[in-house]
Structure 1
């Protein structure tokens, strides 16, 4: 055990103050010959006082042992010494420390035993040292000390549990934010890179067949897609750089941006039909989540489905928003089930806002993704 664990700064302060008060008070009484009742052994009284003063410095390291030691020293001191000094203070401090450190049962037992000893001894001596009211008052204080310590112990335990809960909440918040950022980057950048990959791969195939093939249109689409990707990345970085609780969790694209998303998919060679029924003012989180589900669905179609036609439908009802993306491809959804990608990410976006998600092969061929959200999202 190190020196720091034996002597806490507060223990050194409390022990030093107690030592100065007890010794100085006792010496003054001794010099003034302020004798209460003739003691049985003055030397034994001084030894008991010294023990109680010294052991109090170890009250935090050994709370029970110090309480028992000061209790025994106090019992020995008062019959032995002819001066009625503040010797009891060390025992009171040790008893409080024992209770405040959570040892309430031990503190209560010692306090009860002390109360019985004080009352019985005074009754037997016909209250030679204290009056009846003084005896009961002293006994009451001895009983109250563990109660005060118990209140302090409860507060310390509550504070420690609160700090642990806050730390866990902070860690959970950081983890959720990292997942959210990863999902945003995957959906936005992944989609644009998929478009670029499809366009460049198709251009390379055509160039191999026809070296005179002109690539201006393809390069224009790639340039526009790259510009869109950079714009979304700048928006994300701008949000991350803003500090404070009032900082936005966007900006980000929403369902109003679906036409440009569909146009980009069409430029890759897909026949995309967009149908929008109904309109309403959507919660920002729902608006962004619905857009990302459509975006990721189109990305997966281009990557995995080998489809030629895709239908995107958005229906806004009185209390629910629904989106569906259906294609006529092979319907196996390969590559969409890895954690943090594809179907998993879309499911998180839907269910995380109280919505539903379903995806799977269609009976007549192809694959369909369906998601719904309530128009009122709990904050």
Structure 2
């Protein structure tokens, strides 16, 4: 919303309020003389004041009308200049009380302005301004000893006037407190959302980069091992390195594309890059998140002459929710990455079990026993646990008694 639109909206709401305040104040000032009881044609003995005729209309001086106009204008502009409007209204009230014998509802405008001050400004910024109301209302009885405080009726009037100012101030403080609490909650929610988004991207980058570098390192070791003895066997390892690095770059480009614009889309390719590279970046950013349909590609990059990955599917494969499918893929990916890093060249087994209400993902390796691994969960296991929890599932990871390591995730496929 532009500044002009906001100004028009505020005026559209405050000008009617100012008109109502002005009309009520003017009407009360005109009828400050009361009903025409005792006047010719007035009510008889024992009859209510309104039994015969209306109130007595008393006209004001031009200065009185000007004071009411100033109060109405201050109410209309109260949200633009709250302190100046309050001071102007108090000045108009002081002049009105000094020139008009009875005030009527002249305090209605200051009531509205007191609420505006309390709801728009912190306590330290408006409390001193409301204190100006005390000498203003004392000025109405400046010609009486001790400002009329010795008269119980006048003292009661002061108490009523003080209550008239305290009540809207208290309401304004409550409204401001609730508004500030709502604003802080929104800011905390935004910060929490930003943190969760950064955490999600960090998990994606960790999984992509960590897995790919582990596979590349393993395949490079295989290539170096056979290069001198069996050169013909080095080519598959080098091809795996090339394909793994290519896939990792494309997936990483798609993951980081969320930084380019607020809606996660890709920006045009920067100056100095080839058009094909920009088109490839846009295409990768539109690809769906990887799921279990790419499990064969994932395991193919790890298979080598001395390391095998077996995949076993149990149950009838069924369509999975996108979040569950992606979480299952990342859990398998990270578990295989840990097997490559810590399994000592042993093979691994991936079991995907489709059940009516859950998807069971279990990855085990045949490496040496790691008794201390259960107590040293790194970012990999923590990330897998967070992914399982994010879709309403649970994950357990730990060493096996017969050796090796096992990761088991139970992910719900229905509503939970």
TM-score of Structure 1 vs Structure 2, range by shorter chain: 0.5 to 0.7
2:389 equivalent to 1:357: no
Which of 4, 7, 10 matches 2:82?
10
Is contact 2:309–2:347 with CA below 8 Å preserved after alignment?
A: yes
Q: Within 5 Å, give how 1:239-278 maps onto structure 2.
A: 239-244=258-263, 251-267=288-304, 269-277=306-314, 278=316
Provide closer, same or farther for how the CA distance between residues 371 and 329 of structure 1 changes in structure 2, counting only shifts above 3 A: same
Q: Within 5 Å, give how 1:1-379 maps onto structure 2.
A: 10-19=82-91, 21-22=92-93, 24-25=95-96, 29=99, 61=124, 70-71=133-134, 74-75=137-138, 77-81=139-143, 120-121=152-153, 143-207=163-227, 209-210=228-229, 215-244=234-263, 251-267=288-304, 269-277=306-314, 278-332=316-370, 341-376=379-414
What do the CA deviations read for 1:232-267 (whole angstroms, capped 9, x no partner)? Answer: 112213344353499999731101111111111114
Is contact 1:354–1:374 with CA below 8 Å preserved after alignment?
A: yes
Unaligned runs of 5+ in 2: 1-79, 103-116, 267-284
**Over aligned residues, Cα RMSD in angstroms?**
3.8
Is contact 1:279–1:316 with CA below 8 Å preserved after alignment?
A: yes
What do the CA deviations read for 1:94-142 (whole angstroms, capped 9, x no partner)? Answer: xxxxxxxxxxxxxxxxxxxx9xx79932699xxxxxxxxxx7xx97675
Secondary structure of 1:80's match?
Answer: coil
Measured in 2, the distance between the counterparts of 1:151 and 1:298 equals: 62
Secondary structure of 1:266's match?
Answer: coil
Provide closer, same or farther for how the CA distance between residues 65 and 374 of structure 1 changes in structure 2, counting only shifts above 3 A: same
Provide closer, same or farther for how the CA distance between residues 193 and 361 of structure 1 changes in structure 2, counting only shifts above 3 A: same
Kindly tell me the number of residue pairs found equivalent between the two proteins: 298
Secondary structure of 1:279's match?
Answer: coil
Unaligned runs of 5+ in 1: 1-7, 37-55, 88-113, 125-134
Provide closer, same or farther for how the CA distance between residues 156 and 191 of structure 1 changes in structure 2, counting only shifts above 3 A: same
Give the TM-score of the pair, scaled to structure 2: 0.61
User: In structure 1, what is the equivalent of residue 278 of structure 2?
Assistant: none
